[in-house]
């Protein structure tokens, strides 16, 4: 050992005691610097957050507040829906874990039967996403700068559709000019055919763009797409056009029209048997050409005293513009005025198919004229005052 030095063995180097003290001071200083640096970073982060909150626009704050309220509301509704579905599955004796929406609809129809004609008026239980309307996401950033270039029009997504349609029309005009220069004409077999489709309605369009529209906006939308679909080369944009069309209702059953017979006067005759409505039964005969004569059990249309029954009977003739072109003879029995008028109405509509083209028949089907109404009065239940009415229960 040498005086004044304490040699300490180190696998890498030999240092003395004074050097060890210096290293401890250095390490302590580094730790303090590191702590100070971390504090400075946190301070800078908090300052940045404060600055970001200060630069956040009022619109973004309102949107975030409404979005939070909406999320909480949807979460509550979703929880209630799951509870209701579980109770419904237990009532039907099914497994709640495998109980689908189809099973829910069938259970509702079984447990809560309804004779209401409109399906929207019947009881239902759907998920909140299907019941409550959709909400738009944020359309602007924290500083209030809008994302969409048509934001200030008030309806950016609607005008985006019109903008895209006009852009596609301009592209088709350029393509048509190029074909004309080459001396080519469009192939008629490739023409865009929309006979089996119809434009989406105003409500469906509002759901698609998540914006409220006026009737004028909807008319502008229809006129723009019709103009696009009528161009010679519109088949090139078929996918875009069909995006805003929906096919007509698929015919689950196709019934051929009755073949008309020829009577002694040379007129075509069609007879429809077993026309039903409630408890009324009718047999309707149509003769064409005619003068619009109506015979019901040997009387004219005054057979019905109320105006509503007369309007029901004349509606198929007015809808098809055949009120002065055919003669109607009907024999009806049983039921009341409403049931008898409904039976004759269905017989007239069913017989008119023999004198109309396919397009008019399709319109009649969409209007509900070709659908037989099988609804009848619900019977009284034993132990009850009526079909649904219960006796008054008193405890004392």
When pLDDT is averaged across residues 355-379 and rounded to a whole number, the result is 87
Q: Are 228 and 165 in contact (CB under 8 A)?
A: yes
| Residue 140 or 199, more confident | 199
When pLDDT is averaged across residues 338-357 and rounded to a whole number, the result is 92
| 241 and 277 share one domain | no
Angstrom distance (rounded) from CA 379 to CA 88? 26
| 218 and 298 share one domain | no
| Residue 250 or 133, more confident | 133
| 240 and 167 share one domain | yes
| 73 and 112 share one domain | yes
Q: Say if residue 362's pLDDT is above 60.
A: yes
At 377 the pLDDT is 85
When pLDDT is averaged across residues 268-293 and rounded to a whole number, the result is 91
At 32 the pLDDT is 52
176, part of any domain? yes
Q: Are 209 and 136 in contact (CB under 8 A)?
A: no
Task: Name residue 246's beta-bridge partners.
Answer: 198
Residues 6+ apart with CB under 8 A from 9: none
Tell me which residue range forms the domain holding 200.
151-247
297-306 per-position pLDDT tens digit: 999 999 999 9
8-12, 34-38, 116-120: which range is least confident on average? 8-12
At 253 the pLDDT is 45
390, part of any domain? no
| 162 and 242 share one domain | yes
164, part of any domain? yes
| 157 and 241 share one domain | yes
289, part of any domain? yes
- List, as one string, the DSSP characters of 331-396: EEESS-HHHHHHHHHHHHHHHHGGGS-HHHHHHHHHTTTTS-----PPPPPTTSSSSS--------
| 192 and 163 share one domain | yes
396, part of any domain? no
213-250 per-position pLDDT tens digit: 899 999 999 999 999 999 999 988 988 999 999 887 55
Q: What is the CATH number of the domain that holds 276?
A: 3.30.230.10
Length of the chain: 396
Q: Using 50, 70 and 90 to split pLDDT, how confident is the model at 198? A: confident
Q: Using 50, 70 and 90 to split pLDDT, how confident is the model at 323? A: confident
Angstrom distance (rounded) from CA 5 to CA 1? 7
| 286 and 335 share one domain | yes
At 19 the pLDDT is 46
At 168 the pLDDT is 92
When pLDDT is averaged across residues 35-60 and rounded to a whole number, the result is 52
| 184 and 233 share one domain | yes
Put the strands of the sheet holding 280-288 in their side by side order.
Answer: 261-262, 268-277, 280-288, 327-333, 294-296
Q: How confident is the prediction for the chain on average, in pLDDT?
A: 80
At 17 the pLDDT is 43
32, part of any domain? no
| 109 and 164 share one domain | no
146-166 per-position pLDDT tens digit: 777 777 777 888 999 999 999
391, part of any domain? no
Instruction: Answer with the one of 221, 247, 273 that is the final residue of a domain.
Output: 247
136, part of any domain? no
Number of domains observed in the structure of the chain: 3
| 243 and 265 share one domain | no
When pLDDT is averaged across residues 324-332 and rounded to a whole number, the result is 92
| 361 and 270 share one domain | yes
At 47 the pLDDT is 44
At 55 the pLDDT is 58
CA 143 from centroid of its chain's CA atoms:
35
Q: Say if residue 9's pLDDT is above 50.
A: no
* % of the chain surpassing 90 pLDDT: 31
Tokens 């196709």 — which residue? 254
Task: Name residue 247's beta-bridge partners.
Answer: 197
73-85 per-position pLDDT tens digit: 888 988 999 999 9
Angstrom distance (rounded) from CA 77 to CA 158? 30
192-201, 236-245, 378-387: which range is least confident on average? 192-201
At 165 the pLDDT is 93
């Amino acid at each position: 050992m040498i005086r004044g030095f304490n040699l300490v063995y180190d696998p890498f180097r030999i240092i003395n005691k004074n050097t060890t003290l210096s290293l401890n001071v250095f390490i302590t200083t580094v730790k303090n610097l590191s702590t100070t640096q971390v504090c400075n970073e946190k301070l800078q982060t908090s300052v940045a957050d404060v600055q970001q909150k200060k630069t956040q626009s009022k619109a973004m704050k309102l949107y975030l507040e409404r979005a939070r309220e909406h999320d909480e509301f949807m979460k509550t509704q979703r929880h209630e829906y799951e509870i209701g579905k579980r109770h419904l599955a237990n009532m039907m004796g099914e497994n709640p874990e495998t109980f689908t929406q189809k099973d829910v609809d069938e259970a509702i129809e079984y447990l809560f039967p309804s004779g209401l004609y409109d399906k929207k008026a019947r009881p239902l239980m759907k998920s909140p996403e299907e019941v409550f309307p959709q909400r738009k996401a944020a359309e602007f950033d924290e500083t209030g700068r809008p994302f969409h270039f048509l934001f200030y029009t008030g309806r950016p997504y609607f005008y985006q559709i019109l903008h895209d349609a006009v852009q596609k029309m301009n592209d088709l005009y350029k393509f048509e000019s190029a074909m004309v220069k080459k001396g080519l004409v469009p192939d008629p077999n490739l023409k865009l055919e929309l006979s089996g489709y119809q434009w989406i309605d105003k409500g469906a369009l509002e759901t698609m763009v998540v914006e409220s529209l006026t009737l004028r906006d909807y008319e502008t939308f229809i006129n723009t797409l019709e103009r696009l679909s009528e161009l010679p080369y519109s088949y090139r944009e078929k996918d875009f056009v069909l995006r805003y069309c929906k096919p007509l209702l698929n015919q689950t059953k196709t019934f051929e029209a009755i073949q008309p017979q020829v009577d002694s006067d040379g007129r075509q005759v069609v007879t429809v048997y077993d026309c039903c409505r409630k408890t009324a039964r009718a047999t309707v005969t149509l003769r064409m050409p005619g003068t619009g004569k109506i015979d019901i059990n040997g009387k004219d249309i005054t057979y019905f005293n109320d105006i509503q029954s007369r309007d029901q009977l004349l509606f198929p003739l007015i809808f098809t513009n055949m009120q002065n072109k055919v003669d109607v003879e009907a024999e009806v029995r049983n039921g009341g005025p409403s049931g008898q008028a409904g039976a004759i109405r269905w017989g007239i509509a069913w017989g008119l198919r023999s004198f109309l083209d396919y397009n008019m028949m399709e319109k009649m089907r969409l209007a509900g004229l070709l659908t037989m109404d099988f609804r009848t009065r619900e019977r009284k239940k034993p132990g009850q005052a009526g079909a649904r009415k219960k006796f008054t229960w008193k405890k004392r």
